[in-house]
Structure 1
Amino acid sequence: MSRLVFDMFLNATLATLEMVLASSAIGVLFGLPIAILLTVTAPGGLWPLPIIRKGLSFVIDLTRAVPFIILLVLLIPFTRFLVGTSLGTMAAIVPISVMAIPYFARIAEVSLKEVNPALIEAVRVMGGTRAKVIWSVLLPEALPGLVSGLTVTLVTLVSASAMAGVVGAGGLGDLAIRYGYQRFNTSIMVLVVAALVALTILIQIIGNLIHGIIQRKYSG
């Protein structure tokens, strides 16, 4: 591997990591509160508000139904408004984050719904407020599931970051398209695929380790 190819590959890998980590952080920051809201406003929840829940669910499902490649194009004006350009790593973070928010929200909602209702009721009987239930019961009890959900989200965002290379987002996907596909350089294509596979496996391993540590902590 030449020095030039190595430098391009290293920069592309760092750009991919930047896109994935930044968009996943935004996804959790906005997606988790949405998941909590969906859970507490459900029938039988802490604060049943079916109208709000149905409206929020509709928006989430609508966003998730749009293929990511189409979402990339649809959000170009919004991306330009936020970051001043529709090209590059910073621009790619916007549509990837928009995809990550509803994706993680649905996964987190499932984890929150699996919390034992008896625990919630016990805290409520002892005079615990809704906020107390959320912070003391819902989130701690759902933490292992939330970690697994975040791991799945990260793996999905790796694929999304590669797809964003179609519109010049930078990263490994952009490297594969510009220097692999368009220049018929099979070695670069293979290198990028190997890097994406390795990154996905690494994320899954780290996620499984953290999940195991949390489960042992709570089971013990």
Structure 2
Amino acid sequence: MIESLFPNVDWPKMWEATIETLYMTAISTVLTAIFGLILGLLLFLTSPHQAWANKIANWLTSGVVNIFRSIPFIILIILLIPFTTLLTGSMRGPNAAIPALVIGAAPFYARMVLIALREIDKGVLEAAKSMGAKSSTIIWKVLLPESMPALVSGITVTCISLVGYTAMAGIIGAGGLGNLAFLDGFQRGRGDVTLIATILILIIVFILQWIGDIITTKIDKR
């Protein structure tokens, strides 16, 4: 029945592309969370009246974040081809897409981290400082715990954006559902292949959003 409705769909190939999309999304989300959190903390802590207040460091960090956040992802992939080839040995395949995915998404998440940290009650921070808490203590005991719901919500949004990025990366041969939809679907005029790939991407997005909402609700004590 399914084969008759979607005659051009190679199901083993479709599942393989789905696994590639999930792989790229998972690895890049973990790395984006790490680097984005570091950048976001730097932006916050080097801003005026904070523990590491430093105009130059804040300006440089903000500049890096703004530059990479402003470059359209498809252009960023092309610009990073020499770096990607040097790092992974190839410009094709799921692994080759990860550097561009992380560099494209980490600055976006860094801004969301900064917003989350700025929403923390200033009284809590002042109380920690008045008790002589070290910077590391403030980070691990105040900043991260107090902003955790917003951080999880932010990484959920970023993760969903990364699913879309993997589809764009597929156009230049990164693999995954985007690559399959473009090469086997669009270029060969097989609308059913493009349709199924799109449906699978939507299912992945809905599941990720559902998981993110559940985690955010459980850790939000407000």
Whether the TM-score (by the shorter chain) exceeds 0.5 is: yes
Range with greater deviation from structure 2 (2-11 or 191-200): 2-11
Alpha-carbon separation, structure 2, partners of 1:29 and 1:211? 18
Q: 2:16 pairs with 11, 29, 32, which one?
A: 11
SS at match of 2:137: helix
Report the counterpart of residue 86 of structure 1 in structure 2.
Answer: 91
Question: In the alignment, is residue 166 of structure 1 matched against residue 171 of structure 2?
Answer: yes
- What is the total number of aligned residue pairs between the two structures? 217
The aligned runs of 1:98-113 (5 Å cut-off) are: 98-113=103-118
Please point out which of 110, 118, 123 is paired with 2:128: 123
How far apart are the structure 1 equivalents of 2:15 and 2:191? 18
Partner of 2:61 in structure 1? 56
1:24-54 CA-partner distances (Å, limit 9, x unpaired):
1111111111111111111121221111101
CA contact (8 A) 2:69 2:105 kept: no
Question: How many percent of aligned residue pairs carry the same amino acid?
Answer: 38
* Cα shift readout 1:53-101 (whole Å, capped 9, x = no counterpart): 0111011101111110100100000000000000001101111111121
Does the 8 Å contact 2:92/2:173 carry over to 1?
yes
SS at match of 1:44: coil
Structure 2: 5+ residue runs without aligned partners?
Answer: none
Q: Secondary structure at the match of 1:14?
A: helix
User: Matched residues in 1 for 2:191 and 2:203: separation?
Assistant: 18
Secondary structure of the structure 1 residue equivalent to 2:10: helix
Counterpart position of 1:202: 207
TM-score by length of 2: 0.95
Q: Which residue does 2:187 correspond to in 1?
A: 182
Which of 142, 145, 149 is residue 144 of structure 1 equivalent to?
Answer: 149
What's 2:137 paired with? 132
Q: Which residue of structure 2 aligns with residue 114 of structure 1?
A: 119
CA distance in structure 1 between the aligned counterparts of 2:70 and 2:42, rounded to whole angstroms? 21
Distance in 1, Cα, partners of 2:82 & 2:48: 38
What is the CA–CA distance in structure 2 between the aligned matches of 1:72 and 1:82, rounded to whole Å? 14
In 1, are the aligned partners of 2:156 and 2:208 still within 8 Å (CA)? yes
Matches of 1:139 and 1:210 in 2, distance apart?
15
Gapped runs of 5+ residues in structure 1? none
Q: CA deviation at 1:163?
A: 0.5
Letter of the 1:167 counterpart: I
What is the letter of the counterpart of residue 134 of structure 2? T
Match of 1:71 in 2: 76
User: Structure 1: which amino acid aligns with 2:59?
Assistant: K
Q: Distance in 2 between matches of 1:128 and 1:94?
A: 36
Alignment deviations for residues 165-220 of structure 1 (CA, whole Å, 9 cap, x no partner): 110000000000111001111111110111111111111111000000001xx34x
Q: Quick one: which amino acid aligns to residue 187 of structure 2?
A: Q
- Give the aligned residue type for 1:10: W
Report the residue type matching 2:121 in the other structure. Answer: N
Secondary structure at the counterpart of residue 217 of structure 2 = helix
